Structure 1
C-alpha cells in the first residue's frame, strides 16, 4: 500500500467574512495517497469537518484574487513547497433544486382552483364559465401538473442546491404572474359565457386551434426533457451533444424545450386575449431567452467543433 503524503492548504475568505468565516484564514492539513492528488471536493469536505455548519454545497472555492469557482472534481494545485492557498466564499443557505421547482409550480395549482371554483368570494357573484375559461383552466392545471411530475421523475440536476433566496424569487414569478394575476383576470365576469357570446372569444375554430398547438407544444416539450435526461446518467453531471427531435432539423435548436414552453403559453395568450397572460408570457420570454443564450454558449464552449453550427438558440431558423 502506498504511503500517504501530507500537504498544507491555507483557506482565506474571498470577501467580507460572514459568521461562518470568522475563523479564517484556516490552515488545513490533508493526508492523501501520492496519486491521485486531492480535489476541490476533498478540501470542501475538510472545511466542513472543521466547521460542520459550513456544509460543502454552501462553499465556493476559488484561487486567490479570482472570483471564478473551481469545479469540485478539479485537482488542487500546489507550489514547489507542496503548499496551496484557496479562497472560500459563503454562498449562503441552500435549498434543493427539486424543492424549489415543486414549490414554485404548486402555487398556480392551488390558486387557480380557488379563483375558478369560488367566484363569489373574488368577484362578488357566481359566474357561468365560458369554454374559453374552462380551456385556460384545464391548460394551466395540466401544464403545472406535468411540470411537477417532470420534477419528480424526469429532471436531473447538475447542481443539487441553489441559494435559498431563489426559492422566494422563483416562486413569486409563478405564484403572482401565472397564479394570482392570470387566474383573477381570466376567470372574471368579462370572460364568462354570457359576456363572450357572439365575440371572437367564443369562436370554436380558435378554441380547437389553440388546443392543437398547446397539446403539440406540451408533448414536444416533454420529448426534449426526456432526451436531455437520457444524456445524463443518474448520479453524474456528464453531458453530451443532444440530438433528436427538436435538437435536429427541422427545428435544429439548442433549447427546444424552451421554445415549446413558450409556444404552449402563446396558445394560452391567443385563446384568451388576457393581458395577464400576455404579461406572464412576456416576462417568461425575456428570462427564457437569457437562459437559452447562456446554454447555447455553454454548449459551443464545451463541445467546440463537434457542436452543430446550424443550430439556432431558441427560435427555429431565426435566433
Structure 2
C-alpha cells in the first residue's frame, strides 16, 4: 500500500489555542487517533482535551484507532478545527464521586446524625420506624448498585468529561438525596398501621426489586455491545429493548416508584426527584434514538417511544 501524506490547515475553534500549528502533515491511511495524537503532541496537552471537527461540515472527527483519515473524507489542503475542551476528568471518577454521597447519606441521616438533624436529645428522640429502616435500606442498595456498575460494568464512549462536572453532578445527587432522607426520616408516626399501607409497602418492594434487577440486566446488555477499548456499539436487544430505546431508564423509574411507595404518598421530595430525573432521562433517550437511527440505518428498527411505553 502506497503511503500518501496530506497537508491540512489547522484552525482554532472557539478560544484561540496557544502554539497550535497552522498546518499539519499526516498519512491519509493513518488512523484518526494518530491525528489526535499529532495535534496533542504539538500542544503538550492530553488527547482527551481535544475535539477535532472537519472544516467543511463541522462534523466531529472520531478519535478511533480503526477509522482512517481517508475514510472520514479528509483530503489534501482540507481544513480541520481544533477545540480545547479544558481540564478533563474520567467519566468513571465522576460517577463514583456523585454516587458515593447518596450511598452513605441515608444511613448517616437515619442513625448517627439523627439527633443533630432534628435538634433532639438521644434519650427522647423516637427510634426509626421499620418503614424508615426499609426505605433507608432501599436507598442504600440502589446507590451501592450504582457504584458497582460505575466501577465494574459501564464502558464509556468518551474517556473523559470537563472536570467541573464533578461538582455539578455530585451537588445534584448529594443535595437531592439529603433532602429525601431528611424529610423521610423525620421522627413521627410513620409506621405502617393499615392493610392498605401494608399492601402498598409490598408493591413498592416488589417494584424496587424488579426495577433494580431489570436495570442491571439492561446495563449488562449495553456493556456487551461495546468491546473493551472501543467506542463502537452494536444494536441492543433483550428485555425491554423491543419496547423502548432506553429500557434501563424505564426500569430506573420503576425502581424509584417502588421507593416512593415505600416512603409513603407524602414523600414529596422523592416524587420531585423522580419527576426531575425522568425529564432528564427522557431527553437523553430521545438523543440516543436519533443516534441509533443515524448509526445503524436500516438495520435498526425505530422506536415510537424512547423511555416509557405510551408516554414518551
TM, length-normalised to structure 1: 0.86
**1:67 and 1:183 mapped to 2: Cα distance?**
46
Q: Does 1:184 align with 2:182?
A: yes
Q: Secondary structure at the match of 2:224?
A: helix
In structure 2, the CA distance between the partners of 1:300 and 1:64, relative to structure 1 (3 Å rule), is: closer
Offset, 1:106: 0.2
TM superposition shift of 1:223:
1.0
Are the counterparts in 2 of residues 130 and 196 from structure 1 also a CA contact under 8 Å?
yes
Alignment partner, residue 87 of structure 1: 81
**Secondary structure of 1:16 counterpart:** coil
- Which stretch has the larger CA shift, 153-162 or 228-237? 228-237
Verify the 8 A CA contact 1:132 1:202 in the aligned structure 2: no
Distance 1:29 1:49 in 2: 13
Deviation at 1:84, TM superposition (A): 3.3
Shift in Å at residue 202 of structure 1? Answer: 8.8
SS of structure 2 residue aligned to 1:106: helix
Ranges in structure 1 where 5+ consecutive residues have no aligned partner: none
Which residue of structure 2 lines up, in the alignment, with residue 124 of structure 1? 119
Q: Which runs of 5+ in 2 are unaligned?
A: none
Give the one of 197, 202, 205 matched to 1:203: 197
1:150 and 2:141 aligned = no
Match of 2:18 among 19, 22, 27: 22
Alignment CA distance shift 1:143-1:197 (3 Å): closer
> Separation in 1 of the partners of 2:29 and 2:131?
63
Distance in structure 2 (CA, Å) of the matches to 1:186 and 1:286: 23
User: Do the aligned partners of 2:4 and 2:29 also contact (CA within 8 Å) in 1?
Assistant: no
Q: Does 1:47 align with 2:45?
A: no
What is the DSSP-based 3-state SS (H/G/I as helix, E as strand, rest coil) of the residue aligned with 2:109? helix
2:292 is aligned, of 299, 302, 317, to: 299
Q: Which residue of 2 aligns with 1:37?
A: 29
Aligned pair count reads: 300
Matched, 1:245 2:246: no
Of the structure 1 ranges 207-216 and 299-308, higher mean CA displacement relative to structure 2 is found in 299-308
Aligned partners of 1:39 and 1:206: how far apart in 2? 57
Pick the aligned partner of 1:56 from 11, 35, 47: 47
Label 1:129 to 1:161 Cα distance change in 2 as closer, same or farther (>3 A).
same
The Cα shift of 1:51 comes to: 1.8
Distance 2:133 2:60 in 1: 48
SS at match of 1:113: helix
Contact 1:177-1:279 at 8 Å conserved across structures: no
Question: Matches of residues 157-306 of structure 1 in structure 2 within 5 Å?
Answer: 157-178=156-177, 180-190=178-188, 195-197=189-191, 203-248=197-242, 252-272=243-263, 273-306=266-299
Q: What TM-score do the two structures reach when normalised by structure 2?
A: 0.88
The answer on whether the counterparts of 1:94 and 1:161 sit within 8 Å (CA) in structure 2 is yes
